[in-house]
């Protein structure tokens, strides 16, 4: 996916979630251009990355990135980041739900 192939923005994670978001922005821009519309000029994308630290306990990191016209790149929205306070089995449930959703979204 596009997001994993480039590192053009500062602090942008190389994650499947981010790659999925980049692909959607790209696809939407192509559709807009094919329909004689201007593509979104200020996209905002999210990132969530889950890491299993045991068989069923997980931690996460999350962030929001918005297009910064002055810098001509996506930058982290101040205060948008989030980290797990501790590994938990509930985060494991979230991770598996995220995985099922991103696989369905990316592969269908």
Residue 76, domain extent: 7-107
Six-digit token string for 43: 């996209």
What CATH code is carried by the domain that includes residue 99? 3.90.760.10
Q: Count of domains in the chain?
A: 1
Task: Report residue 81: phi and psi, to 5°.
Answer: -70, 155
- Is residue 20, in this structure, part of any structural domain at all? yes
Place of tokens 């997980």: 58
91 close to 58: Cβ distance less than 8 angstroms: yes
30 close to 45: Cβ distance less than 8 angstroms: no
Highest mean pLDDT among 8-12, 21-25, 32-36, 48-52: 32-36
93 pLDDT band, cuts 50/70/90, is very high
Per DSSP, the three-state class of 77 is coil
pLDDT tens sequence across 64-84: 999 999 988 888 999 998 999
- Is residue 2, in this structure, part of any structural domain at all? no
Output the pTM of the full model.
Answer: 0.79
């Amino acid at each position: 996916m596009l997001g994993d192939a480039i590192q053009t923005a500062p602090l942008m994670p190389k994650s499947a979630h981010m790659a999925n978001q980049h692909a959607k922005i790209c696809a939407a821009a192509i559709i807009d251009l094919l329909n004689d519309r201007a593509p979104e000029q200020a996209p905002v994308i999210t990132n969530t990355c889950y890491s299993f630290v045991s068989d069923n306990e997980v931690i996460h990191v999350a962030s929001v990135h918005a297009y910064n016209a002055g810098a001509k790149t996506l930058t982290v929205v101040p205060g948008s980041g989030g980290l797990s306070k501790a590994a938990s089995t509930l985060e494991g449930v979230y991770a598996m739900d995220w995985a099922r959703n991103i696989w369905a979204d990316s592969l269908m």
